[in-house]
Structure 1
Amino acid sequence: MATVDTSSSISNDLMATMNPKKTVVDPNSVEAQTNKFLTLLVTQLQNQDPMNPLDNAQLTSQLAQLSTVTGINNLNTTLDSLKSSYQQAESMQAANIIGHGVLTAGNSINLSKSAALLGVDLTTAADKVKVDIYDKSGKLVHSIDLGAQDPGTLPLGWNGTTGDLDADGKPVVLPDGAYTFKVVATRGGTELKDATALMFGSVASVSTGASGVKLNVPGVGSITMADVKQIL
């Protein structure tokens, strides 16, 4: 006698067909926002006063609002897509400067093997520009007179000398280590506030996160591409 298998997958398939799973919709998506708006509109139409129904102008206005909301959401989706593409392009661009030196805002100098790089950034022209270098104790150890300078970024090199001579008549060279410096720029005898000191660092790696693309520069920290004044 033939038997019927009621515990097979046929029963499960039948139940799945009769009770399909509902698609989960992101509450912030355009579809979800549109559904909310339509639900409110239908509810309003169902509960309107038959003696004073919703006029065409009001209905048209609400439909226009729906179109506006949908358009804004679509625009936000497009902007998110463009932002993602921009970050990918910026990440690729940043990866190309790994191992390169950069100048960014800062006043630290790392003198190594009697060599150091630093820089000056001027927004406006200056009649006179001077760079004062200080040791760890804050003592002024050397000044570099750059004279008049046009607006722009100016990289500088320093070999650790002070401009003084020792007993043998040789230039005094300071020991390797950490120093700081200050940029003093004037025009017409007035000190400019838009002169920026630039410190040097070498890009070691690139990281990408919620805050965007970051360049990891030892001794400087994490900076953005916009923070880079010059690539050396």
Structure 2
Amino acid sequence: MSVSGVTNNSNPYALPDDTISVSEAGQLSNQFITLMVAQIQNQDPTNPMDSTQFVEQYATISQVQSLENMTKLQQSSLVLADNLQMLTAASLVGQNVTVHTDSLELDGKVDAQFDLQHTSTNTVLWLTDANGVETSVALGRQDAGRVDVALDPAALGLKPGTYKVRIETATGEEPRLQVAGKVSDVRVSDSGPVLNIAGIGSVPFYQIVQFGQRG
């Protein structure tokens, strides 16, 4: 099923079937009190039962009920949070976002960037195609901060396709490439929303680093 650019094969975002009912939560306590009163009424007067046992048992039942209700509330809260995330992702269809990515769908020039924590005297960006063939893009010395990269597959002699991306630095730092693209659709998955972004491909929602394109 597809609605407003969102595809869904199953629905992991449905609220739990077990909803919290105040009447059901109190039913067990009422039954216990009824049984306790019946036992007290029918106990042997010459050997009365210890009332502290009833109090302890009732307290235990109350604690169990509280834990069960807390668990159900937490499950409901998580589902609601997931639904909110899905709605947010769906609203991004047709919008630009900047994401961390380890791969690119090269079919034209791509402007990207990455952030360095330390100055690198020798920086290399590697592109690996589906056959495992690597192409290096020498970036030379780069100071700490934002580094802009322009990738032109034609100039690099690369055919259109999907390429894995990794960046090597002289300091051993491994920054991740950041690329801006337009969200074409959103897919529902068990691990959360997955965005399909032009020029990048499928990217999990949590890899978004900025809404809109970086200036």
Do they superpose with TM above 0.5? yes
Q: Aligned Cα RMSD in Å?
A: 3.8
Extract unaligned runs of 5+ from structure 1: 1-25, 162-171
Extract unaligned runs of 5+ from structure 2: 1-17
**1:54 counterpart = 2:50:** yes
Cα 1:205–1:75 shift into 2, 3 Å: same
The answer for the alignment partner of 1:72 in structure 2 is: 67
Question: What is the CA-CA distance between 1:204 and the residue it aligns to?
Answer: 1.8
**1:159 counterpart = 2:152:** yes
In structure 1, how many angstroms separate the alpha carbons of the residues matched to 2:104 and 2:186? 23
Amino acid at match of 2:91: N
The answer for the alignment partner of 1:35 in structure 2 is: 27
Question: What is the CA-CA distance between 1:147 and the residue it aligns to?
Answer: 0.9
Q: TM-score, normalised by structure 1?
A: 0.58
The answer for the alignment partner of 1:8 in structure 2 is: none
The answer for the alignment partner of 2:99 in structure 1 is: 103
Amino acid at match of 2:50: L
Asked if the contact 2:29/2:58 (under 8 Å) is kept, the reply is no
Question: What is the CA-CA distance between 1:47 and the residue it aligns to?
Answer: 6.1
CA deviations on 1:67-96 (whole Å, 9 max, x unpaired) are: 333333443444344334433432332233
3-state DSSP of counterpart to 1:102: strand
In structure 2, how many angstroms separate the alpha carbons of the residues matched to 1:119 and 1:29? 52
In structure 2, how many angstroms separate the alpha carbons of the residues matched to 1:109 and 1:210? 24
Cα 1:209–1:180 shift into 2, 3 Å: closer
Asked if the contact 1:117/1:199 (under 8 Å) is kept, the reply is yes
Question: What is the CA-CA distance between 1:197 and the residue it aligns to?
Answer: 4.1
Amino acid at match of 2:204: I
3-state DSSP of counterpart to 1:195: coil
Decide which of 149, 172, 183 is 2:167's aligned counterpart.
Answer: 183
In structure 2, how many angstroms separate the alpha carbons of the residues matched to 1:27 and 1:80? 10
Q: TM-score, normalised by structure 2?
A: 0.61
**1:213 counterpart = 2:193:** yes
CA deviations on 1:181-215 (whole Å, 9 max, x unpaired) are: 3211343xxx23x5334566542222446544333
Cα 1:37–1:154 shift into 2, 3 Å: farther
Q: Which has the higher contact order (CA 8 A, sep 6+)?
A: 2
3-state DSSP of counterpart to 1:59: helix
